[in-house]
Structure 1
């Protein structure tokens, strides 16, 4: 049986890019505006506050894990309020083995592992739309074990450190999505797979993308009425069923075009379009350029 989450994460190809241990004391705040970079953090001790753009503030506690697959803007701060009418300081002090925010001396009130991972896929921007905007996981033993392995590897300079970190982060990424599926995390593929009825439809779309799916047919497979299925799918996944199917078909099409193992007409057929012209219209509208031009640009980028 096809696992949609495995397919999406495999295409994304997540890997280690940067991680560090940070701590905070007193009133402090850090604002980041990282264009689409996947951000993660785990609270090793203490507590702090996270506010991601478009989401309510979250108080993070020990062993909490946060994943933002496409972080466009967020603020982290201490629990101590800034002085009235002023902003919390953003003092940064480099201490042995960690970066301190706020008061440089004295014990840390929070210590955390923060980092960015990268997606090797050139279609990351498209694929990330299938994931939740924010994953917040609390009280998951399996995740805590993986996080500890990441922390240990980050602190040591062992042989093949970067390779091990990349593999650990890939597993951590998948486990975070699975663990966050039933929590207060935002809608996305993992939340959809946690709903037994919605999961049936998602698996059918991934197993048989060439079938002429409609909302009515997918609702029948999920054993729900058309209206109930549409509302339930949209609420869990964060997009309508046909929008999800289109996004997945376009992701597959781009991968097939880059592989250069099939012409445009065959690619159209393999992702569920009855004609190359229909596929051309859908691809152009969704990707922003015709498949022929996309293929030429990929060939130019690859070189001779």
Structure 2
């Protein structure tokens, strides 16, 4: 059966080209407004506080991993309440490549590896909408092992350090997605997959996107009434069932068009549309461009 998480991650093409080590001592605070850039943080030592817009503040501790697939605004600060003046103080570069916040001398209270992910897919915004808004993972043995490897690699300037860190962070990203599933997760694909009945319907949509699904048919696959399925799906995944199916079909269509795998009629058939004209109308409404123009623009961008 299809693996929705693997398919979404494969289309996202995640990488982690930028990271840095930051330590903090005393009172300090940093405010960032990143306009949707995927942000991650690994707590290597100590503890600090994270406040993401729209979420309750989280006290982070050693071994924690945080991933925000689309970070619009957040603050990180010391556990000791920071003043407005503390937020105005930029980090200071240290001689060995780390950055320091707060008190510049002496031992640190916290040491972090922070950075930004890059999603290679031009359709990243649509795919990110299928993921939880905030992932905070703690106490997962497998994830802790990867975090330890990241910490060890980040401390030494060994050959190919940046390459190894990038690969480890990619694995960390995928493992965090798997570890963040559960009823307490924010709405998204992973929370839906944690629900056994919804997971079966989700896998059916991914495995057979060409089937003319209806809410009633998907509810039957999930062994739920139509109303119960609709309400439960929306609460867990964050969108209505047919909205999710449309988003997934459009993601598949855009990938096929980018890779020039067939004409419009063939692409339409491969994502569940009975005719090229019906597909073109749906694609244009969803993407903002007709499929022929989208394919042309993708081709031109590959040659620039």
Give the TM-score taking structure 1 as reference length: 0.95
Deviation at 1:158, TM superposition (A): 3.6
2:123 matched to which residue of 1? 123
1:263-286: CA deviation from partner (whole Å, max 9, x where unpaired): 011101100011111111111111
- Secondary structure (helix, strand or coil) at the match of 2:38 reads strand
Distance in 2 between the 1:292 and 1:66 partners? 39
Residues 82, 150 of structure 1: alpha-carbon distance in 2 compared, 3 angstrom cutoff: closer
Q: Any residues of structure 2 matched to 1:153-172 within 5 Å, and which?
A: 153-172=153-172
1:204 aligned partner:
204
Aligned length: 302
Output the CA distance in 2 between the equivalents of 1:133 and 1:82: 26
Following superposition, the deviation at residue 97 of structure 1 comes to 4.1
CA deviations 1:172-226 (Å, max 9, x no partner) are 1111011111263311111111110010000000000000111110000000111
Q: Structure 2 matches for 1:133-212, cutoff 5 A?
A: 133-182=133-182, 184-212=184-212
Q: After the TM superposition, which of the residue ranges 37-46 and 261-270 deviates more from structure 2?
A: 37-46
CA contact (8 A) 1:136 1:184 kept: no
Which residue in 2 is equivalent to 1:88?
86
- 2:45 and 2:170 mapped to 1: Cα distance? 24
Deviations 1:236-287 (A, max 9, x none): 1111111110110000000100111200111011000111111111111111
Q: Displacement of 1:167 after TM fit?
A: 2.5
Q: Is the 8 A contact 2:29 2:82 kept in 1?
A: no
Q: Which residue of 2 aligns with 1:104?
A: 104
Q: Deviations over 1:55-105 (max 9, x none)?
A: 11111112111100111211111111235xx44342422223421111112
Counterpart residue number, 1:78: 78
Contact 1:210–1:273, Cα closer than 8 Å, also in 2:
yes
| Residues 218-237 of structure 1: pairs in structure 2 closer than 5 A | 218-237=218-237
How far did 1:151 drift?
2.3
Please identify, of 176-185 and 245-254, the stretch whose mean Cα deviation from structure 2 is larger: 176-185
Relative distance call for 1:49 and 1:235 in structure 2 (3 A) is same
- SS of the equivalent of 1:262 reads coil
Is 2:154–2:165's contact at 8 Å kept on the other side of the alignment?
yes
Mapped pair 1:294 → 2:304: no
Q: Which runs of 5+ in 2 are unaligned?
A: none
Query: What is the aligned partner in structure 2 of residue 248 from structure 1?
Result: 248
**TM-score with structure 2 setting the length:** 0.95
